[in-house]
Structure 1
Amino acid sequence: MMNVLALDIATKTGWKTKTASGVWDLTPNRGESSGMRLVRFKAKVIELAGLEDINLISYERPAGMHKSSIMVASEMVGILKELCVYLNIELACYSATQIKKFATGTGNANKEAMIKAAVELGFNPADDNEADAIHLYNLTISDLKI
Protein backbone atom coordinates (compact mmCIF):
# COMPACT_ATOMS: atom_id res chain seq x y z
CA MET A 1 0.00 0.00 0.00
CA MET A 2 1.25 3.45 -0.92
CA ASN A 3 1.29 6.13 1.76
CA VAL A 4 1.45 9.49 0.03
CA LEU A 5 2.75 12.85 1.20
CA ALA A 6 1.68 15.71 -1.08
CA LEU A 7 3.71 18.93 -0.91
CA ASP A 8 2.99 22.39 -2.28
CA ILE A 9 6.61 23.48 -1.88
CA ALA A 10 7.36 27.09 -0.89
CA THR A 11 8.43 29.05 2.17
CA LYS A 12 4.91 28.31 3.40
CA THR A 13 4.67 24.66 2.37
CA GLY A 14 1.24 23.06 2.22
CA TRP A 15 1.19 19.32 2.98
CA LYS A 16 -1.32 16.47 3.04
CA THR A 17 -1.19 12.80 4.04
CA LYS A 18 -3.91 10.20 4.44
CA THR A 19 -4.56 11.34 8.02
CA ALA A 20 -3.81 15.07 8.17
CA SER A 21 -2.92 18.26 6.33
CA GLY A 22 -1.46 21.63 7.17
CA VAL A 23 1.09 24.32 6.41
CA TRP A 24 4.72 24.54 7.48
CA ASP A 25 5.98 28.12 7.82
CA LEU A 26 9.66 27.74 6.98
CA THR A 27 10.48 31.45 7.06
CA PRO A 28 13.99 32.02 8.44
CA ASN A 29 13.98 33.86 11.77
CA ARG A 30 15.70 37.19 12.19
CA GLY A 31 19.45 36.69 12.14
CA GLU A 32 19.25 33.26 10.47
CA SER A 33 20.59 32.49 7.02
CA SER A 34 18.14 31.63 4.24
CA GLY A 35 19.57 28.10 4.40
CA MET A 36 17.56 27.51 7.59
CA ARG A 37 14.46 27.21 5.38
CA LEU A 38 16.09 24.13 3.79
CA VAL A 39 17.13 22.69 7.16
CA ARG A 40 13.58 23.05 8.51
CA PHE A 41 12.05 21.63 5.33
CA LYS A 42 14.27 18.55 5.45
CA ALA A 43 13.52 17.98 9.14
CA LYS A 44 9.75 18.28 8.60
CA VAL A 45 9.77 15.85 5.66
CA ILE A 46 11.87 13.32 7.60
CA GLU A 47 9.58 13.60 10.63
CA LEU A 48 6.34 13.20 8.67
CA ALA A 49 7.75 10.43 6.45
CA GLY A 50 8.58 8.46 9.58
CA LEU A 51 5.29 9.13 11.36
CA GLU A 52 3.14 8.21 8.36
CA ASP A 53 5.38 5.50 6.84
CA ILE A 54 5.49 7.52 3.59
CA ASN A 55 6.70 5.70 0.47
CA LEU A 56 5.63 8.24 -2.19
CA ILE A 57 6.01 12.00 -2.15
CA SER A 58 4.13 14.06 -4.71
CA TYR A 59 5.04 17.71 -5.25
CA GLU A 60 4.07 20.66 -7.40
CA ARG A 61 6.68 21.46 -10.04
CA PRO A 62 8.27 24.89 -9.42
CA ALA A 63 7.07 27.49 -11.92
CA GLY A 64 5.89 31.05 -12.06
CA MET A 65 6.97 34.54 -12.91
CA HIS A 66 8.86 35.46 -9.73
CA LYS A 67 12.50 34.44 -10.01
CA SER A 68 13.15 34.45 -6.27
CA SER A 69 10.24 32.11 -5.43
CA ILE A 70 11.23 29.73 -8.25
CA MET A 71 14.78 29.65 -6.88
CA VAL A 72 13.58 28.90 -3.34
CA ALA A 73 11.23 26.14 -4.53
CA SER A 74 13.93 24.66 -6.78
CA GLU A 75 16.40 24.49 -3.89
CA MET A 76 13.76 22.74 -1.79
CA VAL A 77 13.02 20.26 -4.59
CA GLY A 78 16.73 19.48 -4.75
CA ILE A 79 16.73 18.73 -1.01
CA LEU A 80 13.59 16.63 -1.45
CA LYS A 81 15.08 14.58 -4.29
CA GLU A 82 18.27 13.87 -2.34
CA LEU A 83 16.24 12.94 0.73
CA CYS A 84 13.97 10.61 -1.22
CA VAL A 85 16.96 8.76 -2.67
CA TYR A 86 18.40 8.39 0.84
CA LEU A 87 15.07 7.22 2.36
CA ASN A 88 14.07 5.09 -0.65
CA ILE A 89 10.87 7.06 -1.22
CA GLU A 90 9.38 7.40 -4.71
CA LEU A 91 8.63 10.81 -6.21
CA ALA A 92 5.82 12.09 -8.42
CA CYS A 93 5.47 15.63 -9.71
CA TYR A 94 2.63 17.62 -11.27
CA SER A 95 2.31 21.11 -12.72
CA ALA A 96 0.13 23.80 -11.15
CA THR A 97 -2.08 23.66 -14.24
CA GLN A 98 -2.68 19.91 -13.79
CA ILE A 99 -3.56 20.37 -10.13
CA LYS A 100 -5.90 23.30 -10.79
CA LYS A 101 -7.66 21.52 -13.64
CA PHE A 102 -8.15 18.41 -11.49
CA ALA A 103 -9.53 20.47 -8.59
CA THR A 104 -11.73 22.98 -10.40
CA GLY A 105 -12.03 21.93 -14.03
CA THR A 106 -9.96 24.88 -15.20
CA GLY A 107 -6.18 25.06 -15.39
CA ASN A 108 -5.94 28.72 -14.41
CA ALA A 109 -8.04 28.71 -11.22
CA ASN A 110 -7.14 31.38 -8.67
CA LYS A 111 -6.31 30.82 -5.00
CA GLU A 112 -9.88 31.47 -3.86
CA ALA A 113 -11.26 28.85 -6.27
CA MET A 114 -8.75 26.29 -5.00
CA ILE A 115 -9.72 26.99 -1.38
CA LYS A 116 -13.43 26.80 -2.28
CA ALA A 117 -12.92 23.44 -4.03
CA ALA A 118 -11.16 22.07 -0.93
CA VAL A 119 -13.99 23.30 1.30
CA GLU A 120 -16.50 21.59 -1.01
CA LEU A 121 -14.60 18.33 -0.39
CA GLY A 122 -15.11 18.78 3.37
CA PHE A 123 -11.75 20.31 4.27
CA ASN A 124 -11.06 23.57 6.08
CA PRO A 125 -7.68 24.64 4.66
CA ALA A 126 -5.71 27.31 6.52
CA ASP A 127 -4.75 28.90 3.19
CA ASP A 128 -4.21 28.26 -0.51
CA ASN A 129 -1.01 26.30 0.18
CA GLU A 130 -2.88 23.68 2.21
CA ALA A 131 -5.72 23.67 -0.35
CA ASP A 132 -3.22 23.01 -3.15
CA ALA A 133 -1.67 20.14 -1.17
CA ILE A 134 -5.12 18.61 -0.60
CA HIS A 135 -5.86 18.69 -4.32
CA LEU A 136 -2.38 17.42 -5.19
CA TYR A 137 -2.89 14.50 -2.81
CA ASN A 138 -6.22 13.63 -4.44
CA LEU A 139 -4.76 14.02 -7.94
CA THR A 140 -1.88 11.71 -7.07
CA ILE A 141 -4.21 9.04 -5.65
CA SER A 142 -6.44 9.30 -8.73
CA ASP A 143 -3.66 9.46 -11.31
CA LEU A 144 -1.62 6.58 -9.91
CA LYS A 145 -4.74 4.58 -8.97
CA ILE A 146 -3.58 4.08 -5.38
Structure 2
Amino acid sequence: MISTIETGPAAAGAIAFRPHPAHAHRAILSLDLGTTTGWALRSHDGLITSGTVSFRPSRYDGGGMRYLRFRSWLDQIAADAGGLAAIYFEEVRRHVGTDAAHLYGGFLATLSAWCESHAIAYQGVPVGTIKRHVAAKGNADKAAVMAAVRARGFSPADDNEADAIAILLWAIETDGGVR
Protein backbone atom coordinates (compact mmCIF):
# COMPACT_ATOMS: atom_id res chain seq x y z
CA MET A 1 0.00 0.00 0.00
CA ILE A 2 1.35 3.44 -0.91
CA SER A 3 -0.06 6.75 0.30
CA THR A 4 0.80 10.13 -1.20
CA ILE A 5 0.30 13.66 0.05
CA GLU A 6 1.71 16.80 -1.47
CA THR A 7 3.25 19.59 0.56
CA GLY A 8 4.38 23.05 -0.38
CA PRO A 9 2.63 25.83 -2.31
CA ALA A 10 0.60 23.49 -4.52
CA ALA A 11 -1.04 21.91 -1.49
CA ALA A 12 -1.25 24.84 0.91
CA GLY A 13 -3.23 23.82 3.94
CA ALA A 14 -3.23 20.13 2.97
CA ILE A 15 -1.29 19.19 6.08
CA ALA A 16 -0.34 20.97 9.28
CA PHE A 17 3.35 21.62 8.72
CA ARG A 18 5.74 23.57 6.57
CA PRO A 19 9.09 21.98 5.78
CA HIS A 20 12.08 23.46 7.58
CA PRO A 21 14.19 25.53 5.11
CA ALA A 22 17.21 23.27 5.72
CA HIS A 23 15.25 20.37 4.20
CA ALA A 24 14.17 22.18 1.04
CA HIS A 25 14.97 20.12 -2.06
CA ARG A 26 16.36 17.18 -0.04
CA ALA A 27 14.96 13.67 -0.23
CA ILE A 28 14.48 12.18 3.22
CA LEU A 29 13.49 8.59 3.98
CA SER A 30 12.09 7.34 7.28
CA LEU A 31 11.77 3.70 8.27
CA ASP A 32 10.01 1.56 10.84
CA LEU A 33 12.32 -1.45 10.56
CA GLY A 34 10.94 -4.98 10.68
CA THR A 35 9.75 -7.91 8.63
CA THR A 36 6.99 -5.56 7.49
CA THR A 37 8.88 -2.30 7.15
CA GLY A 38 6.96 0.95 7.14
CA TRP A 39 8.47 3.73 5.05
CA ALA A 40 7.81 7.36 4.24
CA LEU A 41 9.72 9.46 1.71
CA ARG A 42 9.77 13.21 1.23
CA SER A 43 11.07 13.70 -2.30
CA HIS A 44 13.07 16.61 -3.66
CA ASP A 45 9.87 18.33 -4.78
CA GLY A 46 8.16 18.04 -1.38
CA LEU A 47 5.85 15.16 -2.30
CA ILE A 48 5.43 12.66 0.55
CA THR A 49 4.78 9.03 -0.27
CA SER A 50 4.55 6.18 2.18
CA GLY A 51 3.77 2.52 2.40
CA THR A 52 4.93 -0.83 3.67
CA VAL A 53 7.16 -3.51 2.22
CA SER A 54 7.40 -7.11 3.41
CA PHE A 55 10.73 -8.86 3.88
CA ARG A 56 9.17 -12.12 5.05
CA PRO A 57 11.29 -14.98 3.71
CA SER A 58 9.84 -17.78 1.65
CA ARG A 59 10.26 -21.31 2.91
CA TYR A 60 13.16 -21.82 0.49
CA ASP A 61 15.14 -18.73 1.54
CA GLY A 62 18.29 -18.84 3.60
CA GLY A 63 18.56 -16.72 6.74
CA GLY A 64 20.19 -13.76 5.01
CA MET A 65 17.83 -13.36 2.06
CA ARG A 66 15.52 -10.88 3.83
CA TYR A 67 18.52 -8.59 4.40
CA LEU A 68 19.69 -8.91 0.78
CA ARG A 69 16.17 -7.99 -0.37
CA PHE A 70 16.16 -5.06 2.09
CA ARG A 71 19.46 -3.80 0.67
CA SER A 72 18.15 -4.13 -2.90
CA TRP A 73 15.00 -2.26 -1.89
CA LEU A 74 17.13 0.56 -0.41
CA ASP A 75 19.07 0.75 -3.70
CA GLN A 76 15.81 0.99 -5.64
CA ILE A 77 14.12 3.61 -3.44
CA ALA A 78 17.28 5.76 -3.45
CA ALA A 79 17.46 5.54 -7.24
CA ASP A 80 13.74 6.33 -7.63
CA ALA A 81 14.14 9.35 -5.31
CA GLY A 82 17.14 10.67 -7.23
CA GLY A 83 19.35 10.20 -4.17
CA LEU A 84 18.78 10.51 -0.45
CA ALA A 85 20.13 13.17 1.90
CA ALA A 86 19.24 11.33 5.11
CA ILE A 87 17.48 8.31 6.57
CA TYR A 88 15.73 8.36 9.94
CA PHE A 89 14.58 5.16 11.63
CA GLU A 90 12.75 4.14 14.76
CA GLU A 91 15.36 3.32 17.40
CA VAL A 92 13.89 0.46 19.39
CA ARG A 93 15.51 -0.32 22.75
CA ARG A 94 13.05 -2.92 24.02
CA HIS A 95 11.66 -5.79 22.00
CA VAL A 96 8.75 -8.13 22.56
CA GLY A 97 10.95 -11.20 22.15
CA THR A 98 14.36 -12.53 21.21
CA ASP A 99 13.44 -13.16 17.56
CA ALA A 100 12.19 -9.57 17.17
CA ALA A 101 15.44 -8.27 18.66
CA HIS A 102 17.54 -10.39 16.30
CA LEU A 103 15.54 -9.33 13.24
CA TYR A 104 15.74 -5.65 14.21
CA GLY A 105 19.50 -5.99 14.72
CA GLY A 106 19.88 -7.52 11.26
CA PHE A 107 17.88 -4.75 9.61
CA LEU A 108 19.79 -2.10 11.56
CA ALA A 109 23.17 -3.59 10.62
CA THR A 110 22.14 -3.78 6.96
CA LEU A 111 20.81 -0.21 7.01
CA SER A 112 23.84 1.31 8.73
CA ALA A 113 26.30 -0.52 6.46
CA TRP A 114 24.32 0.52 3.38
CA CYS A 115 24.22 4.16 4.52
CA GLU A 116 27.94 4.17 5.26
CA SER A 117 28.77 2.69 1.85
CA HIS A 118 26.58 5.31 0.10
CA ALA A 119 27.67 8.28 2.29
CA ILE A 120 24.09 8.90 3.46
CA ALA A 121 23.47 10.35 6.90
CA TYR A 122 21.35 8.17 9.17
CA GLN A 123 19.89 8.65 12.62
CA GLY A 124 17.82 6.60 15.03
CA VAL A 125 14.93 8.35 16.75
CA PRO A 126 13.75 6.97 20.12
CA VAL A 127 10.21 5.60 20.17
CA GLY A 128 9.10 7.99 22.94
CA THR A 129 10.39 11.00 21.02
CA ILE A 130 8.38 10.04 17.95
CA LYS A 131 5.20 9.40 19.91
CA ARG A 132 5.56 12.60 21.94
CA HIS A 133 6.05 14.64 18.79
CA VAL A 134 3.12 13.30 16.80
CA ALA A 135 0.63 12.27 19.53
CA ALA A 136 1.72 14.57 22.40
CA LYS A 137 2.28 11.57 24.66
CA GLY A 138 5.53 9.58 24.88
CA ASN A 139 3.75 6.33 25.68
CA ALA A 140 0.90 6.69 23.16
CA ASP A 141 -0.43 3.39 21.85
CA LYS A 142 -0.55 2.35 18.18
CA ALA A 143 -4.14 3.59 17.76
CA ALA A 144 -3.24 7.05 19.09
CA VAL A 145 -0.27 7.34 16.72
CA MET A 146 -2.43 6.25 13.77
CA ALA A 147 -5.13 8.76 14.75
CA ALA A 148 -2.56 11.57 15.08
CA VAL A 149 -1.07 10.76 11.67
CA ARG A 150 -4.54 10.63 10.10
CA ALA A 151 -5.36 13.99 11.70
CA ARG A 152 -2.39 15.39 9.75
CA GLY A 153 -3.97 14.32 6.45
CA PHE A 154 -2.33 10.94 5.85
CA SER A 155 -4.00 7.54 5.37
CA PRO A 156 -1.64 4.87 6.71
CA ALA A 157 -2.66 1.28 6.03
CA ASP A 158 -1.21 0.02 9.32
CA ASP A 159 0.87 0.98 12.34
CA ASN A 160 4.16 0.36 10.48
CA GLU A 161 3.31 2.97 7.86
CA ALA A 162 1.94 5.34 10.54
CA ASP A 163 5.19 5.08 12.51
CA ALA A 164 7.26 5.82 9.40
CA ILE A 165 5.13 8.89 8.64
CA ALA A 166 5.45 10.04 12.26
CA ILE A 167 9.25 9.70 12.05
CA LEU A 168 9.30 11.70 8.81
CA LEU A 169 7.15 14.44 10.35
CA TRP A 170 9.52 14.60 13.33
CA ALA A 171 12.56 14.83 11.02
CA ILE A 172 11.02 17.59 8.89
CA GLU A 173 9.54 19.62 11.72
CA THR A 174 12.56 19.44 14.05
CA ASP A 175 15.26 19.56 11.38
CA GLY A 176 16.28 16.07 12.47
CA GLY A 177 16.45 17.04 16.13
CA VAL A 178 18.91 19.89 15.56
CA ARG A 179 17.29 23.04 16.92
Is the radius of gyration larger for structure 1 or structure 2?
A: 2
Equivalent of 1:47 in 63, 76, 101: 76
Aligned counterparts, 1:1-146, within 5 A: 1-18=25-42, 19-52=48-81, 53-65=83-95, 66-144=97-175
The CA deviation string for residues 46-74 of structure 1, in whole angstroms up to 9 with x for no partner, is 11111112120001113223221121111
TM-score by length of 1: 0.94
Give the secondary structure class of the aligned counterpart of 2:138.
coil
* DSSP-derived class of the 2:94 partner: coil
Partner of 2:11: none
Report the CA distance between 1:36 and its aligned residue: 1.4
In the alignment, the residues of structure 2 paired with residue 141 and residue 122 of structure 1 have an alpha-carbon distance, to the nearest angstrom, of: 16
In 2, distance between residues paired with 1:20 and 1:2?
A: 14
User: Which secondary structure does the structure 2 equivalent of 1:16 belong to?
Assistant: strand
Q: SS of the residue aligned with 2:75?
A: helix
- Deviation of 1:130 after TM superposition, in Å, equals 0.2
CA contact (8 A) 1:62 1:74 kept: no
Q: Percent identity?
A: 29
- What TM-score do you get using the length of structure 2 for normalisation? 0.77
Q: Which has the higher helix share?
A: 1
What secondary structure, in the 3-state scheme, does the structure 1 residue paired with 2:38 have? strand
Q: Secondary structure at the match of 2:39?
A: strand
Gaps of 5+ in 2: 1-24, 43-47
SS at match of 2:163: helix
Detail structure 1 runs of 4+ shifted over 3 Å in the superposition.
Answer: none
Equivalent position of 2:5 in the other structure = none
Q: Which runs of 5 or more structure 1 residues have no equivalent in the other structure? A: none
2:16 aligned partner: none
In the aligned structure 1, how far is the partner of 2:63 from the partner of 2:51? Answer: 22
Alpha-carbon distance between aligned partners in 2 of 1:132 and 1:23, rounded to the nearest angstrom: 11
